[in-house]
Amino acid sequence: MKERLRRLLVDRVPGIRDRYEARRRADPAMGRPAAALVLLWLNIQYYLLFRRGLGRPLHPPMYEETPLYADGSESSLSRRESPEDFAARLAACGAVSFDVFDTLLFRPFSDPADLFYLVGMTLRYPDFRRIRIAAEEQARERKAREKGTREVTLEEIWAEMETETGIPREDGLRAEWEWEKRCCYPNPYMLRVFAALRRRGVPVFALSDMYLGEARVGELLENAGFTGFAGLLVSCGHGCSKADGGLYPLLLRSMPDPAGSGGGPAHVGDNAHADGVQAEKHGLRAFPYPNVQRAGDRFRPHDLSAVTGSIYRGLVNARLHSGLTVCSRDYEYGFLCGGLFAAGYCRFIHDYAASRGVDRLLFLSRDGALLREVYCRLYPDEAARTAYAYWSRLAAVKLTAGYYRQEYFRRFLFHKAGQGFSLRRVLEGMELPSLLGPLCRAAGLRAEDELTNKNAGKVKSYLLDAWDEVLEAYRPQREAGAAYYRRVLAGSRSAAAVDIGWAGSGAVMLDCAVNRLWGIGCPLTGVVAGTNAARSPEPDAAVPFFLGGRLVSYLYSEQENRDLWKLHDPARGHNLYWELLLGAPEGSLVGFYPDDNGEPVCRFRPPPAHAARIREIHRGALDFVELLMRTEERLGLLLPISGRDAYAPMIPLESGRNRRFMEDWEGILDDAQIG
């Protein structure tokens, strides 16, 4: 009978099924009567009110277009007075009480129930999160029927869980409590507020609507550095809560001077009803502290894997909305998009090197600067096998012109045709000024003529006729480059060149120079963040190298995460958005040259004028990595960061809806030209 009803009321209409199941997922604690009402109302609307649109299946959008805050830094939305100034205002009330969870204590999740994923991992029980939420609601309903209160203990919840799952109560309770202890950490803003109040000698109390009980909550607070409370009240121990108002009379009776000197004792918390309305109703002065997750979650991406996404959002929201600091937009760009990506990419690099026996990691300039710093923080014992190696497209096309002639002309000539470059400027960029006069005479051109699609062929034809002279002009650079890389690769038998991407030509050309041009004899693989995308002019240019294992990619390729391969659009600046996260605040390499003693020296373009802003972006990314590392150490868990997860924070930025968000950085995006 039950199955027949489900087929009739749920599965018969796909749109009703999708909407009903979405409601159940959104509220796992929904009881059967409420679920039946939801299902009945959906069917009434469809069959009796003729809302046929409800019959269409729900299709989540392929890509998120979450609107981002573009009128300043996001953290400015949660600007607060200093913790010490806030403490002074609270102290004037004579006594202060604090909510505990989401006020004094944070968990590293955007949804606190996501802690149950970790408990389920420990207990190796499928669908544990949903079952645990439902069991808590069942325990509350049972307690309401039997005792007239919905306040339950962890023991009572696990009695329900044991019945539902067969997991021994003590085993489950122990696992959940261990994860609670690992996950809870102090709100840095409130830690300073608390310390300032203690220095002033103000009596401080803690209140919590929670099932853990006073002993456990007290232990969590003490572990986080909150010690010396005048009192602690937890709802499950008293059969009443802040939400129903019952805890506040108990609090007031325990305070030495309930009236204080400021019109009543203060209460600080994040819940508008429990910590605001009810506190005021019982004679306390409410000082709201907005929930950091609710404040930031509207700006966060949700299309990530469950635990990685929740921890990413939880850490970001807590950092930007605790009220402790207001960050710059540059810092936030690095923190939001750079940190998760850099940490995930460096772990990908580490795992690749370990699996392939790579003994030297070359982080290519300039995009490798931040990555190498992150890598050495993640793997300090491996710092000696890393090197920051100078390389650039400009240097590469000159050094390997004898092997990649087509790439040489494409980069130096055809990419510049019709872009306003004079022949003089083009030849100077190629470092062939001595050939300008002969070229102009042979081709019937003038030095100040613009390079166009019409005359680029003539220029190429002349240079091919003078090819030996072209290669000879670069001979000193080839020799200097050989000396430089012999030192960089000394003692190495297998190396990997790390770069942002995109065609992979940097690593491919370096491998050619190292092994074919200079004969150093060190096989070199290219590790890139992303490849040429489907919308690139040459989307399949690197296919032979991926096929042969000479290139590997983290974020996407035509083989992996093909949806990102299709989404990523260089013409809309997407390459530059990623490069902005990584590029070092230094001029790009022009080439290798011998000094007066024959020693190799590197020459660079002038450093960018916006170096300070780049350093601020990097600071944000590094701070996220440090925060992630501390969180993982506390949890005892290495967070998996797939390429798809690492790309997710950038997807909303790449949508047209957030064009204003990126306008602030358009002036500092890198130059696409070389030479």
For residue 461, the enclosing domain spans: 406-471
Helical packing angle, 188-200 and 83-91, nearest 10°: 40
Name the one residue in this structure whose structure tokens are 């003038």: 446
In a domain? residue 111? yes
- Residue the block writes with tokens 């968000």: 661
Q: Is it true that the peptide bond before 366 is cis, omega within 30 degrees of 0?
A: yes
What total number of domains does the chain contain?
4
Q: Please state which of the ranges 229-233, 270-274, 379-383, 537-541 shows the lowest mean pLDDT.
A: 537-541
pLDDT of residue 260: 46
Residue 503: band (very low, low, confident or very high) from pLDDT cuts 50, 70, 90: confident
Angle between helices 306-321 and 115-123 (to 10 degrees): 140
Q: What is the pLDDT of residue 263?
A: 66
Residue 670's pLDDT is 63
Q: What is the mean pLDDT of residues 345-351?
A: 98
Please report the pLDDT score of residue 1 as a whole number.
66
Do both 185 and 287 map to the same domain? yes
In this predicted structure, the answer to whether residue 60 has a pLDDT above a threshold of 70 is no
At 260, which helix (H) or strand (E)?
none
Instruction: Give the pLDDT confidence of 74-91 residue by residue, as tens digits.
Output: 999 999 999 999 999 999
- C-alpha to C-alpha distance for 348 and 370, rounded to whole angstroms: 15
Element (H, E) at 522: none
Tokens representing residue 155 in the block: 């023991």
- Same domain membership, residue 503 and residue 463: no
Q: Clarify whether residues 245 and 115 are in a common domain.
A: yes
Residue 274 within a domain: yes
Length of the chain (residues): 675
Asked if the model's pLDDT at residue 668 lies above 90, the reply is no
Confidence band, pLDDT 50/70/90 cuts, at residue 255: confident
Mark whether 255 and 179 lie in a shared domain.
Answer: yes
Using alpha carbons, select from 541, 477, 509, 550 the residue that is nearest to residue 400.
Answer: 509
The CA distance from 406 to 173, in Å, is 67
pLDDT at 309: 98
User: How high does pLDDT run on average in the chain?
Assistant: 93
DSSP state of 539: T
In a domain, 162, yes or no: yes
Instruction: Give percent above pLDDT 70 in the chain.
Output: 97
Residue 606 is classified by DSSP as: P
* CATH code where residue 232 lies: 3.40.50.1000
**Of the candidates 630, 648, 653, 670, the residue with the CA atom closest to the CA atom of residue 344:** 648
Interval 149-179: pLDDT, tens? 999 999 999 999 999 999 999 999 999 999 9
Residue 527 has pLDDT above 90, yes or no: yes
Shared domain for 278 and 183, answered yes or no, is: yes
Residue 138 belongs to some domain of the structure: yes
Q: Which helix (H) or strand (E) holds 371?
A: helix 368-378
Least confident among 23-27, 208-212, 519-523, 607-611: 23-27
Please say which residue of 37, 55, 73 terminates a domain: 55
| CA gap 105, 212 in Å, rounded | 14
At residue 29, the pLDDT reads 67
Last residue of a domain, one of 431, 449, 471: 471
Between strands 231-234 and 285-288, the pairing is: unpaired
User: Picking from 99-113, 259-273, 399-413, 517-531, which range would have the lowest pLDDT averaged per residue?
Assistant: 259-273
Pick from 39-53, 418-432, 578-592: least confident? 39-53
> How does pLDDT run across 357-397, given as a tens digit for each residue?
999 999 999 999 999 999 999 999 999 999 999 999 999 99
Assess whether pLDDT exceeds 60 at residue 258. Answer: no
Q: Tell me, yes or no, whether 485 and 348 share the same domain.
A: yes
Residues 290-320: pLDDT tens digits?
Answer: 999 999 999 999 999 999 999 999 999 999 9
Question: Which residues, 6 or more positions from 531, have their beta carbon under 8 angstroms from its beta carbon?
Answer: 501, 502, 503, 504, 542, 546, 551, 553, 556, 557, 558, 565
Spatial CA neighbour of 214 closest among 233, 239, 241: 233
| Angle separating helix axes 154-165 and 169-183, nearest 10 degrees | 130
Domain identity same for 89 and 144: yes
Same structural domain, 607 and 562: yes
Domain co-membership, 458 together with 509: no
**Mean predicted confidence (pLDDT) in 443-455:** 95
* Calpha distance 583→668 (Å, rounded): 11
Label residues 483-493 b or e (16+ Cβ within 10 Å = b).
ebbeebbeebe
Give CA–CA dist 499/588, Å, rounded: 14
Q: Are residues 371 and 414 in the same domain?
A: no
Please tell me the predicted confidence (pLDDT) of residue 19: 86
Q: Which of 454, 471, 488 is the last residue of a domain?
A: 471
* 640 domain residue, yes or no: no
Q: Is 460 inside a domain boundary?
A: yes
Distance CA 242, CA 209 (A): 6
| Residue 467 and residue 513 in one domain | no
For the chain, the C-alpha Rg in angstroms (whole number) is 31
Residue 655 lies in a domain: no
Domain assignment present for residue 96? The answer is yes
467 vs 405, 435, 457, 473, 590, CA distance in Å? 10, 11, 15, 10, 21
Q: Is the pLDDT of residue 603 over 70?
A: yes
Return the ∠ at Cα 232 (arms to 136 and 317), rounded to 5°: 65
**Is the dihedral angle over the CA atoms 596, 389, 603, 585 positive or is it negative?**
negative
625 and 557 housed in the same domain: yes
For residues 538-546, give the mean pLDDT: 91
- Is 90 exceeded by the pLDDT of residue 48? no
105-153 pLDDT, tens per residue? 999 999 999 999 999 999 999 999 999 999 999 999 999 999 999 999 9
pLDDT recorded at residue 669: 78
